[in-house]
Structure 1
Amino acid sequence: MGECQRVVIIGWDGAGNFVRQAQTPTLDNIAARGVIGYEAQTVMPTISAQCWGSLLHGVSPEKHGLTNDIAARESFAADSPYPSLFRVIREREPNAKLAAFSSWHPINAGIIEDGLDVHKETAEAEALADEEAARLPETTTAGIQRITRKDKKIALAAASYIRANPDFRLLFVQFDLPDAAGHQEGYDTGHQWRSIESTDEHTGIIEDALEAEGLLENSLLILVSDHGGGGEHPNDHGSGHPMDRSIFWCCAGPGIAAGNRLDERITITDTAAVAARALGLPMPEAWDARVPEGLFWSSIQAIDKLILQAGVNRFVENRKLAANVFMLVRAYNYGRQGRRQPVQ
């Protein structure tokens, strides 16, 4: 049985872990209800198609084979041994409502498989936002302003979808503004921090829609970046430099061990496993993705039960049993950090 009724994954393209320098009340509020890490690792090379491909397909770029050029011109193979999270859900739940909203065309065109009955919307670069989205603060360049409006349009469209389809199972949203600002103005700069703040506002539109429909309580929210930038070049990414490879990863919702620290390094690839676990779906054997230790309460409670049965809090006389318990101690201690209440 799954931990929640739906999963919402919101990607902040190019934000890396630079969110720490920006004012992000939406992200902060979600993190306060769940967990956040600022040293999660993305894949190599640190390029969008490779990174988003690994997030959605649960494997390394060497396996899924995606690049920006390939994703822009080809549909992902429907019979690939490395199915996307969307395909995993569709094969188990033929009637599930699935949706993807993206500011970057290749995600819907070439990273998510065709033929899965996924509701897809991509904002065109030249498209003007509606009256609400047009009332935006001035930005540094016309190009950045267009991306800002495009992202706002995506946020409003996703919110509209939520209101019309409250029984959806998976919603994926990608915002492009932080990466656009990084390329034009430099990564981890004041200009990019402001773009991250705008992206936080756009994320808030989606969270507000979930709350207004009474869906937050039964929804798992994952906020994540695909890569950073500025490592080997101030306006680019792609290298293994920590500025390019380190990303933030945040998760909140039913079953999440809120308050725990993500001491274990999570990877962008693991996002697929976390989402599948939350929805109660088995992970494909071909996936590299795995669920981090102690992320879900149920795994911590299982460890608690075993340890209490073993009598670790008093004295373990059976040496064989003690050896087995020792193997659980690290995971147990990890899960206990930041615990808000003891297991009954």
Structure 2
Amino acid sequence: MKPIARVIIIGWDGAGNFVTSANTPNLDRLVQMGTFDFHAQTAMPTISAQCWGALLHGVAPDKHGLTNESASSRTYPDDSPYPSIFRVVREAYPDAVLAAFSAWSPINDGIIEPSIGVHKVSMKDRDLSLAAAAYIREHPELKLMYVQLDLPDSAGHRHGYNTPEQLRAIEEADEHTGFILGALEQTGLLDDSLLILVSDHGGGGADPRDHGSDHPMDKTIFWGCVGPGIERGTSLQGTMTITDTAAVVVRALGIEAPASWEAKLPEGLFAE
């Protein structure tokens, strides 16, 4: 079994677990290759900054303190007791190549620490995914990449969640994800990469065109990973949460999780 050389996280904002109703050939192929949970749970409240903050910082929103407003107006403190996965990886691997490609710019500006040498790009989804694919080709030594695609959430707000219009946006996210997968395959990097696919929240529970509640439509997400040591079709023990993603990332890269994190490694995910 090859050691894991890098972790790539691809997030589909607002997609919940509605992906099961969409035509997603790239996601479907990955489901056959790894372990996926379509009943995973996100953080509360089910809002982007709080949920992506939980994924990136390994703690619930009451600890990381992020909101859409704060992420849009100020940077995340470099000395927070709840470091992001990027800061943890940077401290373990000082020369590592780290990159964040986010269609929603507050992730880059206000959720990931500003002074740890992360290559950050913000642009619209299609251009963003093509830029991420190009970066992979140019930087095969990449250690950690995070990509956030925004179209599913935008469509949910505009047309309603789990509607035909939103499902079409989810299908676009799958197409854009295919650009990134193509780059990994063409460079031979897929074989020793851990690839995580996840949504931050759903929507349409309390309000057909919004999210933020604890309704299952808002709170239930998909989460999955593919890579060395990940058994195909493994049944995860217990409830998988978005916060636990941070523990998966550091375990994959051979790093000890910070004591301040709440993220837990799902039992049975990695073959021992």
Q: Same fold (TM over 0.5)?
A: yes
Q: How does 1:119-268 map to 2 (within 5 A)?
A: 119-123=119-123, 150-262=124-236, 264-268=238-242
Instruction: Please name the residue that 2:260 is paired with.
Output: 286
DSSP-derived class of the 1:297 partner: coil
Equivalence map 1:17-28=2 (5 Å): 17-28=17-28
| Deviation string, structure 1 residues 267-291 (Cα, Å, up to 9, x no partner) | 0000010011001011000000011
Q: Find the counterpart in structure 2 of residue 274 from structure 1.
A: 248
**What amino acid does structure 2 have at the position aligned with 1:281?**
I
Q: Is it true that 1:57 corresponds to 2:57 in the alignment?
A: yes
Measured against aligned partners, the alpha-carbon deviations of 1:86-135 in whole angstroms (never above 9, x if no partner) come to: 00000111100000000001000000001111000001xxxxxxxxxxxx
Query: Does the 8 Å contact 2:97/2:144 carry over to 1?
Result: yes
**Is the 8 Å Cα contact of residues 10 and 224 (structure 1) preserved in structure 2?**
yes
8 Å Cα contact 1:16-1:226 kept in structure 2: yes
CA distance in 1, matches of 2:55, 2:34: 20
Return the offset for 1:3.
Answer: 4.1
Q: Secondary structure at the match of 1:269?
A: helix
Q: Quick one: which amino acid aligns to residue 88 of structure 2? A: V
Structure 1: tracts of 5 or more residues without a match: 124-149, 299-344
Q: Name the CA distance, whole Å, in 1 between partners of 2:29 and 2:6.
A: 19
Tell me which residue corresponds to 2:14: 14
- Aligned mates of 1:259, 1:48 — CA distance in 2: 28
Is the Cα–Cα contact under 8 Å of residues 6 and 142 in structure 2 kept in the other structure? Answer: yes
Secondary structure in 2 aligned to 1:235? Answer: coil
CA drift of 1:218 comes to 0.2
Partners of 1:55 and 1:115 lie apart in 2 by 19
C-alpha deviation, 1:263, in angstroms? 5.1
After the TM superposition, which residues 51-130 of structure 1 pair with which residues of structure 2 at under 5 Å, given as runs? 51-123=51-123
Q: Quick check: 70-79 or 256-265, which moved more?
A: 256-265
- 2:85 maps to a residue whose letter is L
Shift of 1:264: 2.3
Residue in structure 2 matched with residue 296 of structure 1 by the alignment: 270
Distance 2:245 2:3 in 1: 15
Higher relative contact order (CA 8 A, sep 6+): 2
* Superposed CA RMSD: 0.9
How far apart, CA to CA, are the structure 2 residues paired with 1:87 and 1:114? 10
Would the alpha carbon gap of residues 291 and 3 (structure 1) be closer, same or farther in structure 2, given more than 3 Å must change?
A: farther
1: distance between equivalents of 2:221 and 2:9? 15
Asked whether the equivalents of residues 3 and 277 of structure 1 are also in contact (C-alpha less than 8 Å), the reply is: no
- Say which SS state the counterpart of residue 169 (structure 1) adopts: strand
Q: Specify every segment of 5 or more residues in structure 2 that has no aligned partner in the other structure, as ranges.
A: none
Which string of whole-angstrom CA distances, capped at 9 and with x for unpartnered residues, describes residues 175-212 of structure 1? 00000000000000111111100100000100000000
1:3, 1:280 within 8 Å by CA — same for their partners in 2?
no
Distance in 2 separating the partners of 1:222 and 1:3: 16
Counterpart AA for 2:12? W
Larger-Rg structure: 1
Give the structure-1-normalised TM-score: 0.78
Deviation of 1:258 after TM superposition, in Å, equals 1.6
Query: Aligned equivalents of 2:110 and 2:31: distance in 1?
Result: 31
CA deviation string 1:133-180 (max 9, x = no partner): xxxxxxxxxxxxxxxxx2000000000100100010000000000000
Q: How many Å separate the matches in 1 of 2:239 and 2:109?
A: 31
Letter in 2 for 1:80: S
Counterpart amino acid of residue 89 in structure 2: I
Determine the C-alpha separation between the residues in 2 that align with 1:18 and 1:261: 20
Judged with a 3 Å threshold, the aligned counterparts in structure 2 of structure 1 residues 17 and 263 are, in CA distance, closer, same or farther, namely farther
Structure 1 vs Structure 2: percent identity of aligned residues? 61
In the TM superposition, structure 1's runs of 4+ consecutive aligned residues that sit over 3 Å from their partners are: none
